[in-house]
């Protein structure tokens, strides 16, 4: 794969002085990592270049032979209104600057200004172009309704419309250099989304994943940025950090909500400047890597509580997706069940068992606090102990806590978030009344299947049938 240039669109530098063009190109590449540069020393060729190449930003000198910068600016605004034009003049004249802005210039700089100011202005224009293009891409993807590269999401088993919309969004932002924040409960498959994003990104480097939960600041800095020889006691050899390993690729930081404030500062500096210092070194390194972060925590609440830096939070949430929990996409349960039965059978060297017809109904009634990961564990456990052609439901009932002899639930007050179902009632329901309500709930959860409802209640199917007939007669 060819080396990826930055940004995805071209930056056209126009000046009749070749020496200035070379100097400006070197400055933008060295200071900002911008490599997709096109130079032109004849203003008469500019419109031809814009017609033939994908150019997003133009840096335009004002004083040039054959065609002045102001004349060219007006032509660009008329024929290519989506291009951001930055005027770079040798004169510091307010009237000229105002006139250029009225003609459609994005910004105005003087050649004698500090180099950093011009670089910052170019980066602002690049960022604006990227946002505009990403918005257009997202609109077209979402209107299309289906991902254009479904193979990138082949590892995610789903038919849920919300997940399909999420896939379209990921396709739209995959090539963006800005960070992506993935939120969702534990076990929903956030890393699978990160891997799909990397696959669609066009990055030629690798995806490097790091779980930062419980990592203290020195270990975090060493893990991310590495160290030089002699940086600390025992550092006998230099060590590359994961940032360098992810060069031209993707750096995936999982459980970012657990990062300490000190480590957040280091990460923010890297995201802002693209530079970092290995431990023990005073020479900065520059690496381009797409950053994807994930967390099961509420970063908005953590930021308001002062546990997560606001500047880092807003830097990370430029693009963000929430992966819905399994209880919000119950239609995926049968698909996932079949998928994990196949996977478990292959992994354990067994023939794939047949799932009982009632199993999908039983699982659909479960909330799955552990999400897809919990379902996978259930299936692997059941397949590992099964011996007959039809898969036993016993291990699933044990896991959900519905089989006779299963461990009793903790007494009220011992479990977290437990509620008293009788709180607020003026009178307790009678035994017969409670039993009828319980049977109605079991039948509702079982989708009207008496065999499954009987299993949920821990009684025989004939006993349940007898009860139902008595209620109908009554």
CATH number, domain at 67? 3.40.50.2300
Number of alpha helices (DSSP H) and beta strands (DSSP E) in the chain:
19, 12
For residues 253 and 291, is the Cβ–Cβ distance under 8 A?
A: yes
- CA 361 to CA 393: how far, in whole Å? 12
- DSSP assigned state of 304: H
pLDDT score for 445: 74
- DSSP assigned state of 227: B
How far is C-alpha 246 from the geometric centre of its chain's CA atoms?
17
Instruction: Let me know whether 280 and 376 are in one domain.
Output: no
- Final residue before a domain boundary, out of 101, 135, 169: 135
Nearest in space to 457 (alpha carbons), one of 330, 331, 334, 365:
365
Instruction: Let me know whether 384 and 274 are in one domain.
Output: no
User: Phi/psi class of residue 356: alpha, beta or left (left: φ > 0; alpha: ψ in -120 to 50)?
Assistant: beta
- Final residue before a domain boundary, out of 296, 324, 352: 324
Phi, psi of 425 (to 5 degrees): -80, 135
In a domain, 362, yes or no: yes
| Count of positions (residues) in the chain | 474
In a domain, 5, yes or no: no
Residue given tokens 């257009």 in the structure block: 136
In a domain, 422, yes or no: no
Domain count, the chain: 3
Q: What is the pLDDT of residues 250-268, one digit of tens each?
A: 999 999 999 999 999 999 9
Instruction: Let me know whether 165 and 243 are in one domain.
Output: yes
Q: CATH number of the domain that 200 lies in?
A: 3.40.50.300
How many beta carbons lie within 10 A of that of residue 441, not counting itself?
14
- Final residue before a domain boundary, out of 281, 304, 324: 324
The pair of three-digit structure tokens given for residue 309, joined into one six-digit string: 């830096």
pLDDT score for 143: 60
pTM, to two decimals: 0.69
In a domain, 444, yes or no: yes
At a CB cut-off of 8 Å and minimum separation 6, what does 450 contact?
A: 443, 461, 464, 465, 468
Instruction: Let me know whether 301 and 345 are in one domain.
Output: no
Instruction: Let me know whether 315 and 355 are in one domain.
Output: no
* Residue span of the structural domain in which 237 resides: 148-324
For residues 212 and 255, is the Cβ–Cβ distance under 8 A?
A: yes
The pair of three-digit structure tokens given for residue 407, joined into one six-digit string: 């461990």
In a domain, 467, yes or no: yes
Instruction: Let me know whether 307 and 171 are in one domain.
Output: yes
Helix (H/G/I), strand (E/B), else coil: 86: strand
In a domain, 420, yes or no: no
For residues 390 and 353, is the Cβ–Cβ distance under 8 A?
A: yes
The pairing of beta strand 107-110 with beta strand 84-89: parallel
pLDDT score for 466: 83
The pair of three-digit structure tokens given for residue 271, joined into one six-digit string: 């995201």
The pair of three-digit structure tokens given for residue 434, joined into one six-digit string: 């409670």
- CA 391 to CA 380: how far, in whole Å? 11
Residue given tokens 């480097």 in the structure block: 205
- CA 1 to CA 184: how far, in whole Å? 33
Instruction: Let me know whether 157 and 300 are in one domain.
Output: yes
Instruction: Let me know whether 58 and 178 are in one domain.
Output: no
Instruction: Let me know whether 165 and 114 are in one domain.
Output: no
In a domain, 142, yes or no: no
Nearest in space to 314 (alpha carbons), one of 264, 273, 277:
264
Instruction: Let me know whether 403 and 302 are in one domain.
Output: no
Ranges of residues in the chain whose predicted pLDDT is under 50 = 1-2, 404-418
Instruction: Let me know whether 457 and 365 are in one domain.
Output: yes
pLDDT score for 126: 93
- Nearest-5° Cα angle at 286, 282 to 287: 135
Instruction: Let me know whether 310 and 432 are in one domain.
Output: no
Q: What is the pLDDT of residues 278-335, one digit of tens each?
A: 898 888 888 889 999 999 999 999 999 999 999 999 999 889 999 999 999 999 999 9
| CA dist 389 → 80, 266, 350, 353, 403 (Å) | 68, 56, 11, 6, 21
- DSSP assigned state of 410: P
In a domain, 3, yes or no: no
Q: CATH number of the domain that 362 lies in?
A: 1.10.8.60
């Amino acid at each position: 794969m060819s080396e990826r240039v930055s940004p995805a669109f071209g930056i056209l530098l126009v000046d009749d002085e070749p020496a200035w063009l070379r100097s400006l190109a070197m400055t933008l590449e060295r200071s900002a990592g911008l490599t997709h540069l096109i130079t032109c020393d004849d203003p008469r060729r500019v419109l031809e270049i814009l017609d033939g190449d994908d150019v997003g930003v133009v840096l335009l000198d004002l004083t040039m032979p054959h065609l002045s910068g102001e004349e060219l600016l007006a032509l660009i605004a008329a024929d290519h209104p989506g291009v951001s034009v930055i005027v770079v003049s040798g004169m510091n004249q307010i009237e000229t600057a105002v006139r250029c802005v009225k003609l459609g210039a994005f910004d105005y700089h003087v050649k004698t200004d500090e180099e950093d100011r011009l670089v910052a202005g170019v980066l602002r224009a690049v960022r604006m172009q990227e946002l505009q293009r990403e918005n257009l891409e997202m609109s077209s993807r979402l209107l299309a309704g289906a991902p254009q590269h479904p193979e990138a999401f082949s590892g995610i088993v789903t038919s849920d419309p919300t997940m399909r919309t999420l896939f379209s969004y990921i396709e739209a932002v995959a090539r963006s250099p800005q960070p992506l924040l993935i939120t969702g409960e534990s076990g929903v498959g956030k890393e699978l989304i990160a891997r799909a994003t990397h696959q669609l990104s066009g990055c030629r480097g690798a995806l490097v994943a790091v779980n930062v939960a419980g990592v203290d600041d020195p270990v975090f800095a060493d893990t991310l940025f590495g160290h030089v020889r002699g940086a600390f006691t025992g550092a006998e050899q230099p060590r590359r950090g994961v940032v360098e390993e992810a060069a031209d690729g993707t750096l995936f930081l999982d459980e970012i909500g657990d990062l300490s404030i000190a480590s957040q500062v280091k990460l923010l500096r890297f995201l802002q400047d693209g530079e970092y210092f290995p431990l023990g070194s005073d020479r900065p390194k520059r690496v381009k890597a797409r950053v994807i972060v994930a967390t099961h925590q509420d970063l908005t609440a953590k930021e308001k509580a002062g546990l997560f830096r606001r500047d880092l939070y807003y830097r990370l949430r430029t693009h963000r997706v929430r992966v819905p929990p399994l209880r919000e996409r119950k239609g995926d349960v049968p698909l996932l069940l079949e998928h994990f039965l196949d996977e478990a059978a292959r992994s354990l060297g067994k023939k794939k068992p047949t799932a009982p017809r009632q199993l999908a109904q039983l699982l659909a009634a479960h909330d799955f606090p552990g999400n897809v990961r919990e379902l996978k564990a259930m299936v692997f456990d059941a397949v590992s102990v099964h011996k007959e052609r039809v898969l036993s439901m016993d291990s699933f009932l044990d896991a959900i806590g519905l089989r006779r002899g299963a461990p009793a639930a903790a007494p009220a007050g011992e479990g977290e978030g437990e509620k008293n179902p009788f709180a607020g009632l003026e009178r307790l329901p009678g035994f017969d009344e409670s039993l009828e309500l319980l049977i109605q709930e079991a039948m509702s959860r079982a989708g009207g299947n008496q065999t499954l409802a009987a299993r949920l209640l821990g009684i025989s199917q004939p006993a349940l049938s007898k009860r139902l007939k008595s209620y109908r007669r009554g």
